[in-house]
Structure 1
Amino acid sequence: MFIETVKAIKKNKDLIYHLTTSDFKANSSRTYFGFLWWIIDPIFYMAIFYLLVVVILERGGADYPLIIFTGLIPLKFVTASLVDGTNAISSKGNILQQVYVPKVIFLIVRLLVNSIKYIISVVMLFLFLIIYGVDLTWNVLYFPLIFIVNAFCLLGVMIFLAHLGVFIKDVKNVMQYISRVLLYLSPVLFELKDVPQGLLPYLYLNPFTTFLESYRDILIYGRPPEFLPLSIMTFASVFILYLGLRLLNKNEKEYAKVI
C-alpha cells in the first residue's frame, strides 16, 4: 500500500507541484494579508488571552505569551489541515471527471499548502522567541522530526475526513466547530504541569497534546521532546495512514460517481 502510494507520488510529482503552487497562490490572493493571517490570527488570540488571563485575572505569569504563542501556531496548522482535508476530494470533481488521479494526491497537496504556511509562521515564532529572550538550544533540531510525525498523523486523519466529505457535505462545517473545541481540549492555553495528575491520561488521548508538548519542550524549555508519547504517535500515525490509504483504494471508482 505504501509502495504504491510512493510510486503514485513520483509519477504525479509535477501535478503535485502545480496544484500546490496554484492553491497556495489562490489562498494568499483572496485577502489583502494572504498567508500573513497565519501570523496575525495567533497574535490576535494571544493578545486576547493575555488580556483576559494575565491582566484581568492576574494569572499565567510573565511567560504566558510564550505558552500561548507556541500553542496557537501548531494548533492553526492542525485545524487548518483538518478543515481543508474535508473537501480535498469533493472540490476536485472537474478533474476527477476528466482524468484519473490518485485521490491521495489531493490530500497531499492540501497538507503541503498548510505546511508551507506553517513553516513561514514558525520562522516568525523563532523570531518572537529570540526577541522575548528565550535561549534556543540544539534541541530545536528535533523540530523536523516532530513536524514529520505531526504531518503523517494529519494526513491519515485528513483522508478519512475527505472520504466523509464526498458523501456528507456538512463535514467541513462540523470540523470548523470541532476545531474551535480543540482549542480548549488541548493544552494550548495552559501547561500540563498545572493540570491535576489524574487528568493527564485523558489529555494525552488527544494526539495534539503530544505534539504540542514536544514543540514546547524543544522551543521553550530547551530539552528533548517526549520520546515515548512521540514514538507511540509515530506507530499510530502509520497505522491510521495505512487504513486511510486502504479506504481510498477501495472507493477510488465511487468518488467520481458521487461528485
Structure 2
Amino acid sequence: MRNYLTELIKRKDLLVYLVKSGLKAENRNSYLGYFWWLLDPLLNVLVYFFLIAIVLGRGGDDKAQYAVYLVIGLVVWRWMNTTVTTSAKSIMKYSSIINQVYLPKSIFPLSMTFTQGFNFVFGLVVVAVFLAVFGVVPGWQIIYLPFIILVQLLFLLALSLFVAYICVFIRDIDNILSHILRVFFYASPIIWMGRELPEQYALFVQLNPVATIIESYRAIIMYQSNPHFIGLLIIAVISTLVICTLVYHYSKNEHKIIKAL
C-alpha cells in the first residue's frame, strides 16, 4: 500500500497531464472551443427552465427564485454526472498505454474527477451570473463553499474509483450506469422543489447524499443559512474510508486489471 501511494505521488506530473489533455480534448473540434464550458451549463438551465417553469407552470410563483434554484442544482449535478460517466471508461480508454507501461491504474479515474471539477468552476461562473441577474445576494455563509466543494470532491473520487474498477470486469455496468444516474437525478431535488415531494418519500431524500450536497449549496448561496454539516461530515468520512479501501484494493489487484484488459 505504501509503495503504491509513493508511486501515485511520483506520477503527479502524469495526473496533471491527463487533466490538461482531457480539458483540451473535450472541445478540440468545436467552433466555440472553451466557451462551451460556460455555454453548455447555461443552455442546460434554460431548457429545463422553459419546460418546467414556462410550459408546465411548476416551480412556484417566484420564477426568479426558481431560476436560481434550478441553476445551482443542475450545475452541481453536472459535475457528478460527467464524472461518473467518464470515469467508468477511464481505465479502458487508456488500455493501450496500460499494457505497455506500468502505471497506477487508479490515476485514470482520479484524473477524470479533477478534469470535470475544473469544468464545475466554470459552472459556478454561470451560477454567479444568475445571482447577479436576479438580485440574489449570498450571506456570510458563502465561506462554507470550499468545504462543500471538498466534500463533493471526496464523494466523486470514491464513486469514480469504484465505477472505473467495476467496469473493467463487468462491462455491462457501463450500459446501465446512465439509467442509475437518471434515477438519482429524479430522486434528488434538482429540477423539483422540496415542498413538491410527498411526505412519505421525504426519508429517501434525507438519506440521498446527492440531495444533501445540492441542498447545502443552495443553503449558503440562496437562503443565507448554514449547510447540512452533519450530513456533509458523514459523506466526507464515508467517502474517505471508501477511497482508502479502493486504493488498497487497486494496489493488490493491478495484475487482474491488466489481465482483464
State the Cα distance separating 1:256 from its structure 2 match: 1.3
Distance 1:151 1:59 in 2: 31
Q: Does 1:169 align with 2:168?
A: no
State the Cα distance separating 1:85 from its structure 2 match: 0.9
Q: What residue in structure 2 maps to residue 55 of structure 1?
A: 54
Superposed CA deviations along residues 117-151 of structure 1, whole A, max 9, x for unmatched, are: 11111122112212220112222221111111111
State the Cα distance separating 1:203 from its structure 2 match: 1.2
Superposition pairs of residues 106-185 of structure 1, within 5 angstroms:
106-185=108-187
Q: Is the 8 A contact 1:103 1:252 kept in 2?
A: yes
Q: How high is the sequence identity, in percent, across the aligned residues?
A: 29
Superposed CA deviations along residues 184-234 of structure 1, whole A, max 9, x for unmatched, are: 111001222443443222112321011000110111112221111111111
State the Cα distance separating 1:107 from its structure 2 match: 1.6
Residues 42/14 of structure 1: CA separation in 2 closer, same or farther (3 Å cut): closer
Distance 1:11 1:225 in 2: 36
Counterpart amino acid of residue 242 in structure 1: C
Please state whether the residue corresponding to 1:89 is helix, strand or coil: helix
Counterpart amino acid of residue 156 in structure 1: A
Q: Is the 8 A contact 2:169 2:260 kept in 1?
A: yes
Q: Does 1:26 align with 2:28?
A: no
Counterpart amino acid of residue 207 in structure 1: P
Q: TM-score, normalised by structure 2?
A: 0.90
State the Cα distance separating 1:76 from its structure 2 match: 0.5
Superposition pairs of residues 186-201 of structure 1, within 5 angstroms:
186-201=188-203
State the Cα distance separating 1:5 from its structure 2 match: 6.1
Residues 148/17 of structure 1: CA separation in 2 closer, same or farther (3 Å cut): same
Q: What residue in structure 1 maps to residue 14 of structure 2?
A: 15
Counterpart amino acid of residue 47 in structure 2: I
Superposed CA deviations along residues 172-193 of structure 1, whole A, max 9, x for unmatched, are: 3322232233221110012224
Q: What residue in structure 1 maps to residue 259 of structure 2?
A: 257
Q: Is the 8 A contact 2:41 2:126 kept in 1?
A: no
Q: Does 1:229 align with 2:228?
A: no
Q: TM-score, normalised by structure 1?
A: 0.91
Root mean square deviation of aligned Cα? 2.0
What stretches of structure 1 of length at least 5 have no aligned partner? none
Superposed CA deviations along residues 16-36 of structure 1, whole A, max 9, x for unmatched, are: 111111121111214334454
What stretches of structure 2 of length at least 5 have no aligned partner? none
Q: Alignment partner for residue 73 of structure 1, among 72, 75, 82?
A: 75
Q: What residue in structure 2 maps to residue 64 of structure 1?
A: 66
Moved more, 242-251 or 109-118: 242-251
